[in-house]
Structure 1
Amino acid sequence: MPTDAGDPVPAVACVGAVVLDGAGRLLLVRRGNEPGRGLWSVPGGRVEPGESPAAAVEREVREETGLAVRAGAEVGRVRVPGPGVVYDVVDLSCALLDPSATPVAGDDADAVTFATAADLDRLTCTPRLLETLRGWGALPS
């Protein structure tokens, strides 16, 4: 994606967490800040300098939900245009370390839930989230 000056738009490395609980529900946070303020999405954010995607996703889930997870395999990758940048997001499958823990919204999340397939039909999610996760086979059944 070129800018007006013909320079490439900088890519920002980001991660997302695909976390299913024991009942097969998907962990979602409602964004408290832009991009996507007020929309539901998987927990995630920017990869800090020197941080691996696995470490970043574990940190982001902890900051946004209070839950501890172990990062697993890559589920998929998307590029999301932003203002003057493109977010290069790798979504990782994550396992809950304490399945009995209750999530609590924190950091830039203003709400958190484990969503069933029926819940997903009524929640307003970030653009293309559900179709992307469905294409990867990562949605609750």
Structure 2
Amino acid sequence: MKPVLAAGAVISDASGRLLLVKRGHDPERGCWSVPGGHVEPGEAPKEAAAREVFEETGLRVSVGRELWSTLIEYPDGQSFEIHDFVAHVDGGHLVAGDDADDARWMTPAEVARASLAAGLGERLRQAGYL
């Protein structure tokens, strides 16, 4: 089965906090992740990252360079090719929306203690966020 193409954004504020969302749907329902989701047909991953951030958090962002891409395979046979980008908030008001059960700014210590989506903690550490 071909992996589902997905994109997300790693967003930090001036205090070094990271913006995370609590997943409201499977896969990994209840886990914290960077905002993101499926890339729509004809949509570039950067465009998808900005759209998904807005849908899940109510924040408008500028999307910059790609931080990483990864392939995540789940036991049910589903797999996702995920491209995560650095992004900066341009406006909006933080509110959990779309398929996010919660959205909040977390300190690196809070992120390290949170139940994170598969491999996210390691990728954030490698990128220097934790």
Which of the numbers 110, 113, 138 marks the counterpart of 2:101? 110
Output the amino acid matched with 2:40. Answer: E
Q: Cα offset for 1:122?
A: 2.4
TM-score, structure 1 normalization: 0.86
1:93-131 alpha-carbon deviations (Å, 9 max, x no partner): 001103xx5410000001011111111132111121111
Give the 4+ runs in structure 1 shifted more than 6 A. none
Which structure shows the bigger proportion of residues in strand conformation?
2
CA RMSD of aligned residues (A): 1.3
In the alignment, the residues of structure 1 paired with residue 5 and residue 13 of structure 2 have an alpha-carbon distance, to the nearest angstrom, of 26
**Within 1, Cα distance between the matches of 2:124 and 2:87?**
14
- Corresponding position: 1:128 with 2:119: yes
Q: 2:38 matched to which residue of 1? A: 46
| % identical aligned pairs | 44
Say whether residues 1:64 and 2:56 are aligned partners: yes
Residue 14 of structure 2 aligns to a residue whose secondary structure is coil
Unpaired runs of 5+ residues, structure 1, are 1-8
SS at match of 1:121: helix
| More moved, 82-91 vs 14-23 | 82-91
Could you tell me whether the CA contact under 8 Å between 1:10 and 1:84 is conserved in 2?
A: no
Paired residue for 1:97, among 90, 99, 116? 90
The number of residues matched between the two structures is 129
Where do residues 17-32 of structure 1 align in structure 2 (5 Å cutoff)? 17-32=9-24
Instruction: Answer yes or no: is 1:13 the counterpart of 2:25.
Output: no
Larger Rg: 1
Letter in 1 for 2:72: V
User: Could you say what secondary structure the match of 2:49 adopts?
Assistant: helix
In the alignment, structure 2 segments of 5+ residues that lack a partner are: none
